[in-house]
Amino acid sequence: MPTLTLGDVQLNYRIDGRDDAPVLVLSNSLGTDLEMWSPQMPVLVERFRVVRYDTRGHGASSVTEGPYTLDQLGHDVLGLLDHLGIERTHFCGLSMGGLTGLWLAVCAPSRIGRLVLANTGARIGTADGWNSRIASIRDAGSGGLPAAVVDGVVERWFTRRHRDLAVAEVERIRRMLVDTSAIGYAANCAAIRDADLRTALTAIRLPTLVVAGAHDPSTPASLGRDIAAAVSGAEYVELDAAHLSNLEQAGAFNAALLRFLTGDAITESGRRAIGDGMRRSVLGDAHVDRSAAARTAFNGEFLDYITRTAWGETWTRPGLPRHTRSLLTIAMMVALNRPDELRLHLNAARNNGVTRDELKEVLMQAAVYCGVPAANAAFHLAAQVFAAQDSASANG
């Protein structure tokens, strides 16, 4: 991947998509690199020229002694845009990347078209908290981040549900953290510690989307709501996720991002790509891969239809969390006596954080409103699903 020298820093970046498409810059969170945006790339490259970069001190960008400042992080982006000959770009940043986006909106608004601020705040954490983290990193010596810091970050970044179910994805992010330079991480901690843009929010006049995670302890949803309330005309979406909402709720995140950036002008192939991501999140890769393998000339259009509509439009709507949609779907499958679909969604329910006790309550409710025979069949089917899940877990 190409690099750009800006003063004493080499900035690693990557460009995907058509040269003639509108430009979108993606900015990573503290402790990750540009690959954190992998779940977004299939739906973005169709419509945008996507520029990803590793924030200084991260990934393949160079590491210099800190502390860094938010002003430096913002000027890195402007230097990258100048180098690439880009006068104006859309911008999406998460956490530290979101702070960088806020700086750009305040200090260089003419360079930004539409602004997406995910899981961030105008002021994140406290000085004492950041100083404590910086001290713990420095005490561990040179090299990568201490295991205790990595473990604590992973616990805050994902809900327990996601840590249990998306083991490979969580491990990929853990590896990013482990590979992050302790010097670079601490230097960026200082930039976040010293950044406070709260009084500047009302001056922002850019079209802005704020995305928050309902279970985010690192940048609580209240911080996102504060930004959305202060920025005139800002849109706000709250997802059923912790800190890395672009990973934990990739389908809903992608839908909200594309709707905002395109003004709802999502193409059929884009909707299908969003739906495929959501379908995989709920039903699992194995099921979707089996479905794709069974695709024929006869059923192909139908598969595209349900991927676009059920998964790309309905399941990605922000009005209900996936947990609630899962329970509603199961209740309707009982009522309609659709055992194949019921088995599918009983099995998928745990991917949406639904517990077996909650499934039991839904089936008890169904016994009253759908009839005892329907609920009895559903209980038998659920027992088979649970037994298969337990067997799979026991066998690793």
Q: Which residues pair with 15 in a beta bridge?
A: 51
Instruction: Compute how many other C-beta atoms are within 10 angstroms of the C-beta atom of residue 12.
Output: 20
Mean pLDDT of the chain: 93
Per-residue pLDDT of 209-253, as tens digits, reads: 999 999 999 999 999 999 999 999 999 999 989 999 999 999 889
25 burial (CB, 10 Å; 0-12 / 13-18 / 19+) is buried
What's the rounded mean pLDDT across residues 162-179? Answer: 91
pTM of the model: 0.86
Q: Is 24 helix (H, G, I), strand (E, B) or coil?
A: strand
pLDDT for the residue numbered 140: 65
Residue 318 to residues 2, 154, 284, Cα–Cα distance (Å): 37, 25, 21
Domain boundaries along the sequence of the chain: 3-265, 267-313, 320-396
Selected residue with higher pLDDT from 231 and 280:
231
Q: How far apart are the first and last CA of the chain?
A: 37
Distance CA 161, CA 211 (A): 20
pLDDT for the residue numbered 142: 62
Q: Is 193 helix (H, G, I), strand (E, B) or coil?
A: helix
Under the banding of pLDDT at 50, 70 and 90, the label for residue 286 is confident
Percent of the chain with pLDDT over 70: 98
To the question of domain 3-265 being in CATH 3.40.50.1820, the answer is: yes
pLDDT for the residue numbered 396: 66
Selected residue with higher pLDDT from 255 and 138:
255
pLDDT for the residue numbered 340: 95
Per-residue pLDDT of 257-277, as tens digits, reads: 999 999 866 778 788 888 888
pLDDT for the residue numbered 143: 67
User: Do 3-265 and 320-396 show the same overall fold?
Assistant: no
Q: Is 113 helix (H, G, I), strand (E, B) or coil?
A: strand
Distance CA 169, CA 187 (A): 26
Per-residue pLDDT of 118-168, as tens digits, reads: 999 999 999 999 999 999 888 766 667 888 899 999 999 999 988 987 888
Per-residue pLDDT of 338-389, as tens digits, reads: 999 999 999 999 988 899 999 999 999 999 999 999 999 999 999 999 999 9
What's the rounded mean pLDDT across residues 275-284? Answer: 87
To the question of domain 320-396 being in CATH 3.30.470.20, the answer is: no
pLDDT for the residue numbered 271: 81
Q: Is 337 helix (H, G, I), strand (E, B) or coil?
A: coil
